[in-house]
């Protein structure tokens, strides 16, 4: 492949194939393989007007043994089912979701970056209402497709601390809204604040709970965690996306003898953590060097702002080590594809 694996960003790159299936009259069609990057859809499709859409994000990795692995893809299948239920879309059965993901990776095998370069194949499953409706009601037809592209780190710095800006004048999700689902509306609602954060020189915006603005919700497209007193602390909130990476880090922290607390995290607690970070499939673990509460004129700084703290580093190395097979996968989180 003629790709500069070491300098990949997080951008669309055309690969050879995607896979698709349509839900019509109560059943999903056979998976179809396509090379077309476009979709012919009715202009009245509910995904276009009423946001009936959900997506997922996961990765395939080349291991030290040269084999391609997926990480916990059943969890993505389950989360997409929860998203579909939440906004009344047809559910993609777990087995169909996993078959589609496995198939599209194998079809695009040559785009899976080699081991050891910090790159991976990003997999984007998408479920959209393609049936036409002009009234606000669920579509009777849906399309599920999966496409892939090789990517580097989401935050340009890779595993180096970034700065985050607390966002007090926007909410990405309402307290009883759709924040816990991976649906497009949440991302549309986050665009202006994330763009403002970028313009001011921050990696992304940190959201607080929409009801009281007292507790940390999450960091752009990633969950938040803080480390203190041998404890991994992460927010409990109805309006954050349950991250598969975060769930995995909780297990790893416990296996390292740490305590794990999942509870509301007051903003002021930022002053008490020794290390803080953002985690997610795209972000992997991104250490945070500084959190700036612009409106309150407070800056929270962590250790050496140019280097991740020791626990964050250990969590990162263990997680990535399992994904790349540098470390034995004792949790059975990975599936070998070839």
Ligand X SMILES: Cc1ncc(COP(=O)(O)O)c(C=O)c1O
- DSSP secondary structure code for residue 243 in this structure: -
Total interface residues for ligand X by CB under 6 A: 12
Residue 57 interacting with ligand X (CB under 6 A): yes
Burial class (CB in 10 A: 0-12, 13-18, 19+), 338: exposed
Residue 250 interacting with ligand X (CB under 6 A): no
Indicate the residue among 53 and 218 with the shorter CB distance to ligand X. 218
Tokens of 65: 């043994």
Cα(266)–Cα(247) distance, rounded to whole angstroms? 20
Q: How far is the CB of 281 from ligand X (least distance, A)?
A: 3
List residues with catalytic annotation.
182
Per CB under 6 A, the segment of 109-117, 238-246, 265-273, 319-327 that binds ligand X is 238-246
Task: Pinpoint the alpha helices (H) of the chain.
Answer: 46-49, 73-86, 94-107, 184-199, 244-255, 310-324
Q: Which of 241, 258, 267, 276 binds ligand X (CB under 6 A)?
A: 241
Per CB under 6 A, the segment of 23-31, 221-229, 292-300, 323-331 that binds ligand X is 221-229
Task: Give the residue closest to ligand X by C-beta.
Answer: 280
* Cα dihedral sign, 150-182-312-332: negative
Tell me if 104 sits within 8 A of 20, measured CB to CB.
Answer: no
Q: Which of 281, 286, 323, 334 binds ligand X (CB under 6 A)?
A: 281
**Chain mean position to CA 255:** 23
Residue 244 interacting with ligand X (CB under 6 A): yes
Q: How far is the CB of 116 from ligand X (least distance, A)?
A: 22
Binding site for ligand X (CB under 6 A): 57, 218, 221-223, 241, 243-246, 280-281
């Amino acid at each position: 492949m003629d790709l500069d694996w070491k300098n990949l960003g997080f951008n669309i790159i055309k690969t050879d194939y995607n896979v698709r299936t349509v839900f019509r009259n109560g059943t999903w069609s056979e998976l179809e393989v396509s090379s077309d990057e476009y979709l012919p859809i009715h202009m009245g499709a509910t995904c276009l007007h009423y946001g009936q859409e959900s997506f997922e994000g996961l990765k395939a990795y080349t291991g030290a043994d040269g084999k391609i692995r997926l990480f916990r893809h059943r969890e993505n299948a389950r989360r997409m089912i929860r998203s579909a239920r939440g906004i009344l879309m047809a559910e993609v059965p777990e087995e169909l979701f996993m078959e589609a993901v496995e198939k599209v990776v194998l079809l695009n095998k040559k785009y899976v970056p080699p081991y050891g370069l910090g790159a991976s194949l990003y997999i984007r499953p998408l479920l959209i209402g393609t049936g036409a409706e002009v009234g606000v009601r669920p579509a009777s037809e849906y399309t599920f497709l999966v496409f892939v592209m090789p990517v580097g780190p989401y935050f340009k710095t890779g595993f180096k601390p970034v700065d985050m800006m607390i966002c007090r004048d926007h909410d990405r999700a309402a307290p009883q809204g759709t924040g816990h689902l991976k649906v497009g509306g949440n991302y549309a609602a986050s665009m202006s604040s994330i763009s403002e954060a970028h313009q001011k020189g921050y990696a992304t915006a940190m959201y607080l709970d929409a009801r009281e603005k007292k507790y940390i919700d999450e960091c752009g497209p990633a969950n938040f965690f803080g480390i203190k007193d041998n404890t991994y602390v992460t927010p409990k909130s109805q309006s954050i996306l349950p991250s598969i990476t975060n769930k995995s880090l909780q297990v790893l922290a416990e296996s390292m003898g740490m305590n794990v607390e999942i509870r509301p995290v007051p903003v002021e607690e930022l002053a008490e953590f020794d290390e803080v970070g953002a985690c997610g499939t795209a972000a992997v673990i991104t250490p945070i060097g500084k959190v700036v509460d612009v409106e309150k004129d407070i800056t929270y700084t962590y250790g050496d702002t140019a280097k991740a703290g020791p626990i964050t580093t250990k969590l990162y190395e263990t997680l990535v080590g399992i994904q790349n097979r540098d470390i034995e996968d004792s949790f059975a989180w990975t599936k070998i594809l070839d």
